[in-house]
Structure 1
Amino acid sequence: MSTTVNALLREDLRDFGGYRSARSEALSGSVWLNANESAWANPSDPGATLRRYPSPQPQGLRERLAQLYRVAPAQLLIGRGSDEGIDLLVRAFCAPGRGRIVIAPPVFGMYAVCARLHGAEVVEVPLRDSEAGLCADLAAMGDAALESGASLLFLCSPGNPSGELLPLDAIAALARHLRGRCLVVVDEAYGEYADVPSATTLLTDHDNIAVLRTLSKAHALAAARVGCVIGNPALIEALRRCQAPYPVPQPVVEAALAALAPEALALTRNRMQAVREARARLADGLRALPAVRRVYPSAGNFLLVRFVDAQDAFNALLAAGVVVRDMRALPQLGDALRISVGTMEECRRVLAVLATLRVEAAA
């Protein structure tokens, strides 16, 4: 077991075997009577493929994802989107009522939600608003992790909603500082839009880094709920023992494999470039509007925008049938909306609506 996993895994889970389902056994046969499944297919399933439980970790999909992210299959655990990965990490490394995590708000809310549902304390080191954007203070986060005894530190890169891209050398330095003391989790849900190397390239030298990836964004499978945790094999095995038996339904496996076929991946790469170009044009268009105070740089498929009157902007867009994310309830974002980068026509529609806001309202 790795140094970090051995040091940080909940003591009561170190010898925990988890639940071993009927599909966990490597058996072969022609008559399957070991899982109490129906002997008959459902009438809605003429192919009789859904009456059987799926593999806990479908090998074909695991190998395809490992190839996509350039890691070994043993370094990867498939789950129900990134959300399940976050929950599993908190479950495995935060003792109920005593664990701690470190985050940099405003950030993706599921880190804090999972922690609080598990009774873990959330240590906050807020993002700093500067000319460069909303930026995480990694040194301060590392110090907070050591001072509080946190076992998990969550980073989001590209950041949601900040759009910030964290340098890999800074992540590596943080991992070295926390080795054996804290696991650094890098959420790369929007990694494809950044077009830079992944934090998975750091895994060989850092056993206390885990990376979250998903097919929800760039691969357009949000409804399928396919994500994964990537890390040291010992970490993956520990998380697998904490996971429910059948996390990935068979129809979802088939949809994911189709999305990862060579021709589909080529189309996805082309679309990533199109999104980056549309993001730049949308940002330029927004910056030219009197109603806009600031557009933050973004490496994701969205822009964080401050408005003179965010309610006015939100209402105008909604009246035109355009739904954006109201960020005003989050710390530091009392005048901000988050706008996803849509098609070129959708982006033009956003700009056209916001251009109708009265100049007096932006004065």
Structure 2
Amino acid sequence: MSTVLDLVRPDLRGFAGYGSARSERLQGSVWLNANESAWGNPADPGDGCRRYPEPQPPELIRALAQLYDCAPERLLVGRGSDEAIDLLVRALCVPGRDAVLATPPVFGMYAVCARLQAAPLIEVPLCEDGAGFDIDPDAIAAAALEGGARIVFLCSPSNPTGGAISPERVAALARRLAGRALLVVDEAYGEYSEVPSAIGLLEAFPNVAVLRTLSKAHALAGARIGVLLADPALVAVLRRCQAPYPVPAPCAPLALEGLAPAALEATAGRVAVVRRERRRMAAALAALPGVRRAYPSQGNFLLVRFEDADAAFRALLDAGVVVRDQRAAPGLADALRITIGSPDQNDAVLAALRPQRAAATAEIAPAVETRA
């Protein structure tokens, strides 16, 4: 019977990795085993950075396990979701042989990590219809099986298109890929989504993994706390492949504070505001002249097509508003991605995209007066 370990590179299945000083689990009062300084840095009055941190801080692991309602042994914490993506590709894909599948237009790190590992990249573009962008499960399964994909990345909600994938559809695809590929669901924007998480599938589907992060809804992008949730056997392998100290000492307590009940309550309130503003902005942008389409989104952003995307981008910059230019992405030559900000920030976006109408009115008025 196959297990998720069969998807790991054969040379890494028994790999012991690097045994750091903190991984030895020794006890003592005088610590002289890691070549650390005996004195703290003058810039570190709390002396919190003199010692190397725990590779996987136990308190943080417990808090994240509670947050995501899963067993602690299913969790790997790292430097944002990017590290988890890179670890997965390096641990599962034999260079030049095992492929990575992605669904463009989508988050670019899947392709970057595949390139760095010399893993062939298979692309199955999202399908656009009247409801927005969506995956093509049949095309994904066929391409993955035919092309020897070891990892299939699904972004849900998808960046930059905003669509989300139901757990039922993830499960159906996981069944088709069982024993052949790991199905990784990137839920970086999951808190903003009204579609349930794929985390509930982990017990039944060992070939499903989920990525989460504290960077978006939890407002801790600078702390770089990303989480992989997966089969415990796969997590154990990835821990051995991970750099020794992935969670900086100042970041773990900050993340813990951010996961305290009061902080979680504040986060939930802000997510509710973003959802309301997302609906308001989608309607307001769609009504603006020059906007071809504002796509429905389950993330904290909207993908918007313009008749003149360059003019819209420059108008926003002139107003001090910076958005993400998507024109280099496949099929998005006329599109910008606009993050949902505070109500005032969102009003600034709308105001910046309205000047063409005001300018046209100002140019016509003097001409009318002259003729009179």
Is the pair's TM-score, using the shorter chain for normalization, greater than 0.5? Answer: yes
How do 1:46-65 and structure 2 match up within 5 A? 46-65=45-64
Q: 3-state SS of the aligned residue for 2:296?
A: coil
Provide the rounded CA distance (Å) in 1 between the counterparts of 2:56 and 2:287.
Answer: 49
Counterpart for residue 25 of structure 2: 26
Counterpart of 2:306 in structure 1 is 307
Q: Contact between 2:164 and 2:195, CA under 8 Å: does it hold in 1? A: no
Whole-Å separation in 2 of the counterparts to 1:52 and 1:312: 52
Cα deviation 1:73-126 (Å, max 9, x = unaligned): 100000000000000000100112222011100000000000101111110000
Structural mapping, 1:132-151, within 5 Å: 132-151=131-150
**Match for residue 92 of structure 2?**
93
Equivalent-residue separation in structure 1 for 2:297 and 2:229 (angstroms): 24
Unaligned stretches of 5+ in structure 1? none
Within 1, Cα distance between the matches of 2:305 and 2:44?
50
Distance 1:72 1:25 in 2: 23
Residues of 2 paired with 1:49 and 1:167: CA distance?
43
Matched, 1:40 2:39: yes
Between the aligned partners of 1:218 and 1:244, the Cα distance in structure 2 is 26
Structure 1 residue 297, shift from structure 2 partner: 0.5
Aligned partner letter, 1:295? A
Spell out the pairing of 1:158-237 with structure 2 (5 A cutoff).
158-237=157-236
Q: Which runs of 5+ in 2 are unaligned?
A: 361-372
SS at match of 1:227: strand
TM-score by length of 2: 0.95
Deviation at 1:358, TM superposition (A): 4.5
1:142 offset after TM fit, Å?
A: 1.2
Q: Is the 8 A contact 1:327 1:337 kept in 2?
A: yes
| Residue in structure 2 matched with residue 349 of structure 1 by the alignment | 348
**Amino acid across the alignment from 2:139:** A
Contact 1:313 1:357 in 2 (8 A): no
Quick one: which amino acid aligns to residue 10 of structure 2?
A: E
Following the alignment from structure 2 to structure 1, what is the Cα–Cα distance between the partners of residues 358 and 201? Answer: 49
CA distance in 2, matches of 1:212, 1:3: 23
Deviation of 1:3 after TM superposition, in Å, equals 3.3
Query: Which residue number in structure 2 is paired with residue 254 of structure 1?
Result: 253
TM-score (norm 1): 0.97
User: 3-state DSSP class of the match of 1:305?
Assistant: strand
> Is 1:127 aligned with 2:126?
yes
Q: In structure 1, how many angstroms separate the alpha carbons of the residues matched to 2:3 and 2:273?
A: 40
AA at the equivalent of 2:225: V
Q: Are 1:329 and 2:328 counterparts?
A: yes
User: What's the offset of the Cα at 1:42?
Assistant: 0.9
Partners of 1:183 and 1:252 in 2: CA distance: 30
